[in-house]
Structure 1
Amino acid sequence: MAVSNLIAEDPVPDAAKVTSGSSFYLAMRILPAEQRDAMYQIYAFCRAVDDIADGDLPRGERAGALEQWRTEIDACYAGKPREGLVALTQNITAFHLSRDDFYAVIDGMAMDAAADIIAPDETTLDLYCDRVASAVGRLSVRIFGMQEDAGRRLAHHLGRALQLTNILRDIDEDAGIGRVYLPRELLSQQGISSTDVNSIVNDARLPRVCLTLAERARAHYEQSDAIMAAAPRAQTRAPRIMSGAYRTILEANLKRGFDLPRSRVRTPRSRLLWIVARNIF
């Protein structure tokens, strides 16, 4: 599941279609109207391809539907979008968004569509994080107006921080659909060699794997903080809110622990509003 885990039929969301209590909604609401609209278009695209990857269609049909989205993106860049993608095309032009980043998101969703990911190796996990999270970040930082090098570095680190947080938060939810994104090498270090999903997530040694991955996420958050601290504050308000919200999730999971039973951790709306207030100016 992508950081976006975000519409197949209607690719033009507005504020009412984005969950009002979500960190994404709160982060995007503070943006100027043009940037906000562009981010909703990115959200819509991500939601469309994520829904395909996680849907019930046979895998071959999911692959075909994702490939059709590649064709749709090509049409946008050719200036010939279908009616529902006119706004996305306008934002592609206005913010100089890279076609390769849209392709990368599609490629990441194709990884989920092709087969259930179970204990990927480190290289595959990092590629997955880059495609489903950091590629979204690369699109986003252009919309925020960040300088190219700083923006790409922020997308790299914050994307991975958010996706690793997602993975740690959603261990049991992902297992319910036959997936385990925890890397094979970390599992092996703790003596977990099974490829059976239930055996992995119910193993008493799993918390040690999770703690190692959590420290990796923390390191990416710290790198992100340094990049954002050196950038104009107006350009980093939205990513700072996203970082604050997701870091709260990570710390809450660490406080709860990863031993069974793992109750679902939720961020109080009051905490989200505090994070927004702290970063709005």
Structure 2
Amino acid sequence: MLNPTRTYLLGPLLKGVSRSFYLTLRILPAGMRDPIGLAYLLARAADTIADTSLIPPEQRLELLLSLRAQVNGAADEGTFLQRMSVEVAGQQTQSDEKVLLESLGPALAILSQLNESDRTAVREIVSTLTEGMEFDLCSFPDERSCQIVALQHISELDRYTYLVAGCVGEFWTRMTYAHLPGTLKAATETMLARGVRFGKALQMTNVLRDCGKDLRIGRCYLPTELLDRFGLTPQDLLEPGNFVRAQPLLFELVRMSLAHFREAVEYTLAIPRLSVRLRLACLWPVLIGLETLVLLVHNEAWLDPAKVSKIQRSKVYEVMGYSTALVASNTALRRWTGSLMERIEVRLQS
């Protein structure tokens, strides 16, 4: 018998808060949808806590750690859920996010109903993702402080991209092995490593695309180690006159991203051709990510938050349509992804 609450949370509400990810989720094989969908909901709730700037960072951190404890089975006694409803949900301007925060009780109940393997995997991924959010809250100033803090080293950026996305590639891979045994023929260690690179590719793209917006809330994910190499400071990146001057820095980070994307392509093509749903669920973010990088390297105002490099919804649907027709052809997919990478590389060399 269908549970209407579960159906709503993992259906309409998930669609309302997940935007483009919902498209990927719906194409997944049935057994993987619920644990991945639930993990997304819990992580999105945590992200909403971490990003609610009307609440002081130390209060957000306390609530974030409380949510992590709840996910990992701590007794609530009603206080955490009540605080979430009063302190965070009431601050939301997006109705779906408000409903999500008010629905954490049922979401945690669904988590408790998963089989032990899936429950453990969801707890691990949400714990790691919230560690990434904790990193943000502890590393950067209050959004209203008018200060900018930059990461110091490339290794910090790499660690951050693992905590907020690379770990998702690991989780996704483990879910595939658990729910679709025998599908992935490559060695487990190889696919897990590629999965991490896959997630890092997508997060590096997000970091570069959203750099202008993040700078204006005091967060510079571009490490001082690289800024110094190109004679830049975080404050320099706010000046329109420096957008073109900062392009060599962008290009250096795009090169790093492309190295990750090459592994993401190998990950996708390691999925058997007849596993159409799983292939498409991986192929779409690869193609959309590469299309975004094409826009980025041609956008001289890449640091202007009003001119963000974001592909149009119509382009997303075009990518989905063409990829569905070509999904079984490794040759066609290598040609397509290779063409996008070549367009990026030509620009990097100009």
TM-score (norm 1): 0.82
Q: Which residue is 2:11 aligned to?
A: 14
Q: Which residue is 1:273 aligned to?
A: 317
The correspondence of residues 1-281 of structure 1 with structure 2, limited to 5 A, is 12-15=9-12, 17-18=14-15, 22-56=19-53, 57-75=55-73, 82-91=105-114, 93=116, 95=118, 97=121, 99-116=123-140, 118-120=149-151, 121-145=153-177, 148-192=188-232, 194-196=233-235, 199-202=236-239, 203-204=242-243, 205-233=245-273, 234=275, 235-258=278-301, 263-277=307-321, 278-279=323-324
Structure 1, residues 131-165: CA drift from partner, whole Å, max 9, x if none?
Answer: 01111222222233357324422321111111110
The alignment covers a number of residue pairs equal to 265
CA contact (8 A) 2:220 2:234 kept: no
Shift of 1:242: 1.2
Give the number of the structure whose alpha-carbon radius of gyration is greater: 2
SS of the aligned residue for 2:220 comes to coil
CA contact (8 A) 2:211 2:303 kept: no
* Shift in CA distance, 92/165, structure 1 to aligned 2, threshold 3 Å: farther
CA contact (8 A) 2:295 2:309 kept: yes
**C-alpha distance in 1 between matches for 2:110 and 2:188:** 24
Gaps of 5+ in 1: 1-10
* Shift in CA distance, 229/259, structure 1 to aligned 2, threshold 3 Å: closer
SS of the aligned residue for 1:97 comes to helix
Range that drifts further, 95-104 or 37-46: 95-104
- The root-mean-square deviation of aligned C-alpha atoms, in Å, is 2.9
Structure number with higher relative contact order (C-alpha < 8 Å, ≥ 6 residues apart): 1
Shift of 1:21: 9.5
CA contact (8 A) 1:108 1:131 kept: yes
**C-alpha distance in 1 between matches for 2:214 and 2:134:** 16
Q: Which residue is 1:4 aligned to?
A: none
* Shift in CA distance, 85/217, structure 1 to aligned 2, threshold 3 Å: same
Shift of 1:16: 5.1
Gaps of 5+ in 2: 1-7, 75-103, 142-148, 178-183, 329-350
**C-alpha distance in 2 between matches for 1:236 and 1:91:** 25
CA contact (8 A) 1:28 1:36 kept: yes
Q: In percent, how many aligned pairs have the same letter?
A: 27
Structure 1, residues 46-71: CA drift from partner, whole Å, max 9, x if none?
Answer: 21111122112212211111111221
CA contact (8 A) 1:165 1:250 kept: yes
Shift of 1:244: 1.2
CA contact (8 A) 1:12 1:40 kept: no
Shift of 1:167: 0.9
